[in-house]
Structure 1
Amino acid sequence: MKRWILILSLAVLAGCASEPADAPEPEEAPVEESTEETPAGDTPVEEEAPETDGSLTVGSSESVVEQLDVPWSMIRTDQGWLISERGGTIAVIDAEGNLDRQPVVLEEDVLEIGEGGLLGLALAEDFATSRQVYAYHTYGTPGDVRNRVVELTWDGEQFQETAVVLDDIPGAQFHNGGRLLLDGDALWVTTGDALVPDLAQDETSIAGKVLRVPLSGAGEPTDWIYSSGHRNPQGLTQVEDTLYASEHGASGHDEVNILEEGNNYGWPLIEADQERDGLETPWFEVGETSWAPSGIEADDRYVYMATLRGNRLVAIDRETKEVTPLVEDRGRIRDVWLGDGELYFITNNTDGRGNPSNEDDQLYRLTIE
């Protein structure tokens, strides 16, 4: 009997010793192609935005302009608005709300593919006299998708390419990034991982990065990498010295990050609250259900974020990170603009994933206090 017990004990010990000390982690789940798509059957909730019980009071939203065609980015001018439309036009809106859709003349045609097309816009600081605008757009062929940033000059009837700021940015059907933000003599540019996650960690590639591009053009594109480890950042805003960026997660876990130069924000090595030496966890993440965040704005109290799959415009408290829904009844929301106690936002219901009304897409105004 003692002999059988001894044999059994040795077998158990041998089995334990055969397991490696550091067992490999399970393989990562397949990367989704896009988190912008609203699940089948989901429809916007038809109800007024609530009035919060905190210090943020929200009014109802009212339409300013109708019949926008898959809008993506909005910028305010002294005379009204310029709104990019993904097919390659810019909607020029005057102070009375009149819409004039104008062509964009480029050396490389806009390639409208998947989520690609004419994306981010940024207004030159001297726009009133120079009439210059910066634009991010997809180009190339379905088999070789690229993105570029160009300077456009507006003559009142069309927008003409007058300079190339940056080209040959890796692109794909999804994950093109595309947000622009002017900062003095430099232009912030967000790029996606172009459906190749490892590019976000590749220091020789400008994909999956946030770039700070000098308008002088000095240096090489990889010199302009400000932060890395990004999957598909589509929102960017700056409050004093704090730079916020929103980006899509792989399956839920969309993020808002506070960007600092040289930091690596982890994709595809970590996400959500995972930790690893040398990698940054997000300032805010949405959890397991994707919101598909896009444009963001911020003031001294809140980060305001447009969501596509989430069908909401929300305010995130910068101290507590408490989320206040502001709009939930307009469908997919692509971009937001803040000024003078008002929020303006554009819907994105005509992009093939929403449930557009006959008036969509629209520019809305929302009063906040």
Structure 2
Amino acid sequence: MVLNARNGRGHAPAGRGRPRSTAAAAVAAFALVTASCSDGAGDAEPSVSTASPSASTTGSTGSGGTQVGPVKLTVAGTVATGLQVPWGLAFLPDKSALVAERDSAKLKRIAGGQVTEVGTVPGVDPSAEGGLLGIAVDPQYPTRPYVYAYYSSGSDNRIARLTYSNNSIGSPEVILQGIPMSPIHNGGRLRFGPDGYLYAGTGDGSDRPNSQNDDSLGGKILRITTDGEPAPGNPDNRLWYSKGHRNVQGIAFGGDQLYAAEFGQSTWDELNAIEPGANYGWPAAEGISELDGMVDPIAQWRPSDASPSGIAFAQGHIFMAGLRGGRLWAIPVANGKRTGEPIAFFTRQFGRLRTVEAAPDGSLWLTTSNTDGRGTPKPGDDRILRLTISR
């Protein structure tokens, strides 16, 4: 893992980065990205850590939750087992949770240790990385009894609004379509921000120019109203909030600050602090590249150590689930900057890790992803673990 030494920050918003020959840097960057790293598949490149000396403190916890850094994570129990590729996870005001299964397109409710099916989202077309992906609960629920789902159809990725009442979902009302879709690079994470608007991370749809094309929804973080319109304050009244992303898999807020995790190609996976209108560099940049007018990540990892998916914010840390890395990273952050060294927990203990969410009781829920065709399922997989946080 390599970290940016400048307080974890690369560049300021677009146009204020350190000047550098963009053309030369782009050539160098593309020379590195010759093998594809998608959803943590394959061994494109051995992971060679060039981390700072603090890497000696980076490790996994044992079953008892041995302290390895400023926070301690302990597995307090198993919330659910027998799930099939759980992807999206969102909590309701009554503290129950909804879970989206990627390939089956089923939404399931978890309450009191019981898992029940609440419906199947029609029109979902699963693929290697597509299907029923992120979900989010309307912040005014149950006054507005809606949940929102990001899913792959046969032609594109879409965001739909579904009525959810009496433990059952209604037919989806598509509020946004035309997000580029392919078997890989679909993005898919949804989250409401503290401003009440819906944020969505998208992928480039395996077509790199989408990320820099202002008229494409691919390779972006979208910020929309609950009717699928551009949220007030978006750059140039567009649907997107930031661009230059390869495949955004995790988004989370620490206060008003938005963070996003994304898959790199074969060299660096990224954690970014998101600023409105900023350009995060793909496909010219992968990881810390110091390209003029582009924003560097606040932390980066070799894909074999991460292949990041969902992220959550709690107790001053971004917690980041790793697929190929098979570990949960805790990254201390404040106000869009990294404030300390990332620490890895549970390395290789539970297999591929897909989603992490902060629960209403202050714990974290962590899902495995061993039934996704790229893992090795164990009895009971896929499962949701409950983690407690202490210092």
TM above 0.5, yes or no, is yes
2:360 paired with 1:346? no
Give the whole-Å Cα distance in 2 for the aligned partners of 1:167 and 1:59: 40
> Offset of 1:244 from its aligned partner?
0.3
CA separation of 1:33 and 1:248: change in aligned 2, threshold 3 A: closer
Residue aligning to 2:266: 251
2:100 paired with 1:89? no
Residue aligning to 2:6: none
Residue aligning to 1:267: 282
Larger fraction in strand: 1
**Contact persistence 2:84–2:101 (CA under 8 A):** yes
Alignment map for 1:1-369 (pairs within 5 Å): 25=27, 28=31, 29-32=33-36, 34-37=38-41, 39=43, 47-48=62-63, 50-77=65-92, 78-87=94-103, 88-94=105-111, 96-106=112-122, 109-140=123-154, 145-156=155-166, 158-183=168-193, 184-218=195-229, 223-287=238-302, 289-318=304-333, 319-328=338-347, 329-339=349-359, 340-369=361-390
**Contact persistence 1:49–1:325 (CA under 8 A):** no
- Is the partner of 1:174 in helix, strand or coil? coil
Amino acid paired to 1:248: F
CA separation of 1:330 and 1:219: change in aligned 2, threshold 3 A: closer
**Contact persistence 1:253–1:289 (CA under 8 A):** no
Q: Which has the higher contact order (CA 8 A, sep 6+)?
A: 2
> Offset of 1:130 from its aligned partner?
3.6
CA separation of 1:111 and 1:48: change in aligned 2, threshold 3 A: same
RMSD: 2.6
**Contact persistence 1:252–1:291 (CA under 8 A):** no
CA separation of 1:111 and 1:240: change in aligned 2, threshold 3 A: same
> Offset of 1:185 from its aligned partner?
3.9
**Contact persistence 1:131–1:154 (CA under 8 A):** yes
Give the whole-Å Cα distance in 2 for the aligned partners of 1:314 and 1:218: 34
Give the whole-Å Cα distance in 1 for the aligned partners of 2:25 and 2:70: 50
Deviations 1:65-113 (A, max 9, x none): 110111001111215110000120011111x21111232343xx10001
Deviations 1:188-213 (A, max 9, x none): 01110000111101111110000101
Q: Which of the two has higher C-alpha Rg?
A: 1
Give the whole-Å Cα distance in 2 for the aligned partners of 1:36 and 1:54: 26
More divergent stretch after superposition (285-294 vs 148-157)? 285-294
**Contact persistence 1:314–1:327 (CA under 8 A):** no
Give the whole-Å Cα distance in 2 for the aligned partners of 1:36 and 1:123: 28
Deviations 1:282-317 (A, max 9, x none): 111114645110111113521111110111112112
Give the whole-Å Cα distance in 2 for the aligned partners of 1:177 and 1:364: 24
**Residue segments in structure 1 that go unaligned for 5+ positions in a row:** 1-21
**Count of paired positions:** 338
TM-score by length of 2: 0.80
CA separation of 1:308 and 1:33: change in aligned 2, threshold 3 A: closer
More divergent stretch after superposition (300-309 vs 248-257)? 300-309
**Contact persistence 1:252–1:290 (CA under 8 A):** no
- Is the partner of 2:170 in helix, strand or coil? strand
CA separation of 1:289 and 1:69: change in aligned 2, threshold 3 A: closer
- Is the partner of 2:238 in helix, strand or coil? helix
Residue aligning to 2:49: none
More divergent stretch after superposition (309-318 vs 29-38)? 29-38
Give the whole-Å Cα distance in 2 for the aligned partners of 1:239 and 1:47: 28
> Offset of 1:273 from its aligned partner?
1.9
Give the whole-Å Cα distance in 1 for the aligned partners of 2:25 and 2:175: 47
CA separation of 1:261 and 1:302: change in aligned 2, threshold 3 A: same
**Contact persistence 1:193–1:230 (CA under 8 A):** yes
Give the whole-Å Cα distance in 2 for the aligned partners of 1:24 and 1:89: 42
- Is the partner of 1:199 in helix, strand or coil? helix
> Offset of 1:35 from its aligned partner?
4.2
**Contact persistence 2:87–2:102 (CA under 8 A):** yes
**Contact persistence 2:248–2:260 (CA under 8 A):** yes
Give the whole-Å Cα distance in 2 for the aligned partners of 1:152 and 1:186: 17
- Is the partner of 1:198 in helix, strand or coil? helix
More divergent stretch after superposition (186-195 vs 120-129)? 120-129
State the identity as a percent: 36
> Offset of 1:163 from its aligned partner?
2.4
**Residue segments in structure 2 that go unaligned for 5+ positions in a row:** 1-23, 47-59
Give the whole-Å Cα distance in 1 for the aligned partners of 2:167 and 2:316: 40
Deviations 1:235-263 (A, max 9, x none): 00011121100000001310000000010
More divergent stretch after superposition (184-193 vs 200-209)? 184-193
TM-score by length of 1: 0.84
**Contact persistence 1:38–1:354 (CA under 8 A):** no
- Is the partner of 1:136 in helix, strand or coil? strand
> Offset of 1:151 from its aligned partner?
0.2
Give the whole-Å Cα distance in 2 for the aligned partners of 1:170 and 1:123: 24
